[in-house]
Chains A and B, each alone.
Chain A
Amino acid sequence: MHPVAQEAFLAALEQGWADPRRLHAEGRRARLLLDGAREALAEMLGARTEEIHLTAGHTASLHAAVTSVARARRRVGGRVVVSAVERAALLAAATLAGDEVVTVPVDRTGRLDLQAWQDVVGPDVALAALQHANGEVGTLQPVAAAFEATTRAGVPLLVDAGASVGHVDVGAHWDVLAADPSDWGGIAGVGVLAVRARVRTTPTGPEDEDPWAPGGVSLPAVAAAAASLRAVLADRARSEARRALVDRIRERVAQTVRDVEVVGDPVDRLPHVVTFSCLYVDGETLLGELDRKGFAVGSGSACTSSSLQPSHVLAAMGVLTHGNVRIALPSTVTPDDVEAFCAVLPQAVAEVRRMAGATDL
């Protein structure tokens, strides 16, 4: 969490504790705060204020965006086109909302097969969805070209920028844009959805004053989202400094760990995400080893998920799903932190391989 998010959250608790839908003085004050935050978010995302909708969180944003756009275009067609590496919440919404989900493959780096995308995006498609970047492996997607194809076909494009906003420029190649405050240092409990005025939507839930967030949103969380995004964007240099550290990790891991595959595009990627898979390594055990040494990392390996299914992203890329480590560098990371991690990793991997009896393979 960004310290600015905490400040804004607490200030909003003081000023904006009332229901912004009420007409009394406190309610009006809350309304002003809410409107100010929306206006700020709109400006930073390159949207108009009335195009900004707030939701209960990023998952809720993706659910609402997919179902309400698909419903509005029911008469056009029931097909929903997605990339194979979209977030699970988006894929689940597509399955629910579409008569047919057309999944477009990705290459070994996780990048969309643009030719296949252009081939399937036709006038009978209700909605197409492509992430701005993959949060698991960091690869940036060709959203500009994908948007050109959907625009030509008259199909609205939903861009999940949940892993990108606050880290890289997301541009204007979208009809619906989803951004995730908890990814840029905001406070959990709010999602941001920008819907171009030209896009028709039909809510799928029961009638409510705010169909994007039935019952209203957490105003302090909205204020924290806007304030922290402003702070993060103002300090772009700091965000970009992580790019060199990721390069360093990619290089060191490939050099010092035997039988490792560093995945994701080495150049066209998010500045702060690095992922690799180690052959013959149990991901859960490796995470435990690294945790004992003071490093909190993630994994897309099956043994670390409650479903025991491997990451659908790694699977779609055709890379090793076991022994997977995903690191998202916070903006406060130092070169010393990175060196310390690189120093302990080879031994941790060797130890896990020894436990599995796989040292000699």
Chain B
Amino acid sequence: MSGQGVDGSTRSTLVDARGLRCPAPVIALARAAREAAPGTVLIVWWTDPAARHDIPAWARMRGHEVLVTEPLAPEEGDGGDDDTRVYVTRVRTASGDAAG
């Protein structure tokens, strides 16, 4: 699920962690980070409430950078309770070889 950005300069990878419980979303993200080139933007979809805290903590421990976290398509009112709402977090992987 890798693709070129519109301008061809930014590579991004989508990680679909919807429905996964901790620590599975972070494991899926870490796997994607390990396989991605340095500086790749990882886009992760998640529903697990722990991911809100654990994705930034993982990024900090591994030298990655969290760019933004927001509800996925809020205008469509995917709504419901916290367990079903889908969020998206964008993470830029570490530029050095410390990524993983």
Contacts and interface: CB of A to CB of B under 8 A. Distances in A.
B27 A280 contact: yes
Among B23, B49, B60, B83, which residue has the most Cβ atoms of chain A within 10 A? B23
A321 B57 CA distance: 8
Given A280-B27, A361-B30, A310 B22 contact: yes
Contact of B30 (A280, A302, A314, A323): A280
Interface in A324-358: 356-358
Contact of B23 (A282, A318, A360): A282
Interface residues of A, number: 26
A279 B34 CA distance: 15
B61 interface: yes
Contacts of A301: 22, 50
Contacts of B30: 280, 358, 361
B56 interface: yes
B26 A279 contact: yes
A259 B49 contact: no
Contacts of B22: 282, 301-303, 310, 321-322
Chain B: interface size category: 20 to 34
A302 B49 contact: yes
Interface in A260-301: 261, 277, 279-282, 301
A261 B58 CA distance: 10
A318 B22 CA distance: 16
Nearest to A108: B60
Contact of A261 (B24, B26, B31, B61): B61
B28 to A, nearest CB: 10
Contacts of B24: 356
A285 to B, nearest CB: 10
A256 interface: no
Nearest to A361: B30
Interface string B33-73: 01000000000000011101110111011000000000000
27 contacts: A261-B61, A277-B57, A279-B23, A280-B27, A280-B30, A302-B22, A302-B49, A303-B21, A303-B22, A308-B49, A310-B49, A310-B50, A310-B53, A310-B54, A315-B53, A320-B53, A320-B58, A320-B61, A321-B22, A322-B23, A322-B26, A322-B50, A323-B23, A356-B23, A356-B24, A361-B27, A361-B100
Q: Lowest 5 CB-CB distances: which A-B pairs, in order?
A: A322-B23, A320-B57, A322-B22, A310-B50, A302-B50
Given A310-B53, A323-B23, 15 more contacts: A261-B57, A279-B23, A280-B23, A282-B23, A301-B22, A308-B83, A309-B49, A318-B53, A320-B61, A321-B53, A321-B57, A358-B30, A361-B27, A361-B30, A361-B31
